[in-house]
Structure 1
Amino acid sequence: MSEDLGTPVLDDHLHLDPDHGRGMAAVDDFARLGGTHLIVVNKPSWHLGPVPSDREDFRPVFETTVAAAREATDRLRGRAWPVLGVHPGLVSRLVDDEGYDPTEARDLMQAGIDVAAEFVAEGRALGLKSGRPHYEVSDAVWDASNAVMRHAFDHGADLDCAVQLHTEASEDLTDIADWASDAGMDPARVVKHYAAGRLAGPTPSVMSEKDRLRRAAEAGDPFLMETDFVDDPEKPGMVMGPKTVPRRVRWLLDEGYDEAVANAHVETPRAVYDIDTEATLVDAE
């Protein structure tokens, strides 16, 4: 029987790999501790297949993620939604390993974003993911990566959907928020994955460590909570496990941060993704 924490509990960014990882067993762990909703982000394309060389090479990865989110929904009191896109680290795979020049890599990655946008347009995905490397790269690769991200913002504006980002660690990404605004997006619908407890610009999706969460709770600004669970049996201790967000929600409630819990799991998901985590709950059995 699942624990009921008296609130929706959303993990804003985790990966599921039913074929190679824990898959639905991870979802069951999340639900048993009181987790109710998931944003399931596709794993980097080269983790579920070959390094893409054509736009259609992205499609099987997206289909796998959509199917995993659908199966997860059947096991949750709430539901799961897929977010699809191109991991910014792909640029290094293409340039360093496959011999692409940065412009060619940019074009292929933008084509992958185009395919992900088709899923959003069809109602099969909730939003897009993009970003830029969090490690040092050449100026040409940096420029190409920023162009891919801005392409995602163009789709975000056209589709009126959120865009999750992988970026360098920072507490000030107002430049990125300005680019989203230039594209016609509400920058509040740009989500910085793996965020610290405070961020200027996009909405932070805060890693569920107590110090980061306390900062976010006390700041009072919109935020989300995540684990970045990678679901890779070869990296069992990497990032955080699927039980973490429910456990941290209980801790926040015990510490008296009820308003912060409502912020992260009801109000901000509604503002960023236009989802209702309360209306999509069913009673625990």
Structure 2
Amino acid sequence: MIDDETPVLDNHLHLDPDNHRGIDAVRDFAHMGGTHLLVVNKPSWHLGVEAEAGEDFRAVFERTIDIVAEADKELEGRAWPVLGIHPGLISRLVDDRGFSPEDARDLMQAGIDVAAEYVEAGDALALKSGRPHYDVEDAVWNASNDVMCRAFERAADLECAVQLHTEASEEMTEVAEWAEEAGLPRHNVVKHYAGGRLEGPIPSVMCEKDALETAAERGEPFLMETDYIDDPDRPGAVLGPKTVPRRVRWLLENGHADAVRNAHVETPDLVYGIDTEGTL
């Protein structure tokens, strides 16, 4: 069982403030023993924002901050917003709205700059960026890498972390090196939707048992997540909000108490500078 002194953090999930379960999902998480959440803003177009300028993303970020404040009241611990630009936006801009890759890059970088304002003000914990997880033309790929590197630059200035949405990989040393070149330590770079093994950034491991066993046995820093998307058309996707507490219980029952402390106490402190024990 999870005792009252064990923090349980879902490192990456989404809450829809308007159209789906929202705070009910948080209550499910808390009821199962979950204590801390990092809530990432949904893709801007999912909240009805078709941005023309960086300032247009502000509505997305403020709706996210609002629902995180509501979530915070339901938890024994804390909830924090993670704000940024979903890398899939570049395809929406280029393929559907007629932007050049360079103009799409500039708009997305401007959105990163606006997200950084909220981190600087203490209203958000970290930034989100990345690059498409699917095949794109070289110009789109290069523009996406430029957006990601802007996030690294802003995070270095702010001394905060960046969560990345990228292609599936176990080897992302080059990306970690780009962060370091921008002045951001690689332990402040997190690959969301990761498997149990990753070179370069810190893996935020999807809560499948095989991946968690791999991460536990490696003994390297890692986090746990569901990537719950709170979508009324896909009610359980990607994993449900009860999953992290259930997997923590499973890890404890299988002798992985050190891995639980790694993922829910030590790595959150390393990556984000948050004290999950002290905020219980």
Q: Does the TM-score normalized on the shorter chain lie above 0.5?
A: yes
Write the distance in 1 (CA, Å) between the matches of 2:63 and 2:174: 33
- Whole-Å Cα distance in 1 between the matches of residues 18 and 243 of structure 2? 23
In structure 2, the partner of 1:51 is 50
Does the aligned pair in 2 maintain the 1:5–1:250 contact within 8 Å?
no
Instruction: Give yes or no for contact 2:5–2:277 (8 Å, CA) kept in 1.
Output: no
Contact 2:49/2:57 (8 A) holds in 1? no
Distance 1:125 1:18 in 2: 17
What are the residue-to-residue correspondences of 1:262-281 with 2, within 5 Å?
262-281=261-280
Please report how far the alpha carbon of residue 4 of structure 1 lies from its aligned counterpart in structure 2 after TM superposition: 4.2
1:254 aligns with 2:253: yes
| Contact 1:210/1:248 (8 A) holds in 2 | yes
- Post-superposition shift, 1:51? 1.8
Mapped to 2, the partners of 1:4 and 1:79 lie a distance apart of 17
C-alpha distance after superposition, 1:209-231 (max 9, x if no partner): 00000000000000000000000
* Residue 221 of structure 2: aligned partner: 222
Measured after TM superposition, the shift of residue 236 of structure 1 is 1.1
Letter in 2 for 1:154: E
Paired residue for 2:110?
111
Unaligned 5+ runs, structure 2: none
2:181 maps to 1:182: yes
- 2:41 maps to amino acid: N
Report the count of equivalent residues. Answer: 279
Structure 1: any 5+ residue segments left out of the alignment? Answer: none
- Cα RMSD (Å): 0.8
Question: Aligned letter for 2:179?
Answer: A
Aligned-residue identity in percent? 68
SS at match of 1:165: strand
> Superposed, which structure 2 residues align to 1:62-141 within 5 Å?
62-141=61-140
Q: Give a deviation string over 1:107-135, Cα, whole Å, max 9, x none.
A: 00000000000000000000000000000
Deviations, residues 190-225 of structure 1 (Å, cap 9, x unaligned): 000000001000000000000000000000000000
- Residue 209, structure 1, aligned to residue 211, structure 2: no
Show the counterpart of 2:60. Answer: 61
- The answer for the alignment partner of 2:191 in structure 1 is 192
Q: How is 1:6-17 mapped onto 2 (pairs within 5 angstroms)? A: 6-17=5-16
CA displacement 1:72-129 (0-9 Å, x = unmatched):
1111000100000000000000000000000000000000000000000000000000
Confirm or deny that 1:172 pairs with 2:171: yes
Shift of 1:21: 1.2
Tell me the equivalent position of 2:19.
Answer: 20
Deviations 1:26-62 (A, max 9, x none): 0000000000000000000000013211111100100
Partner of 2:238: 239
Q: Which residue of 2 aligns with 1:144?
A: 143
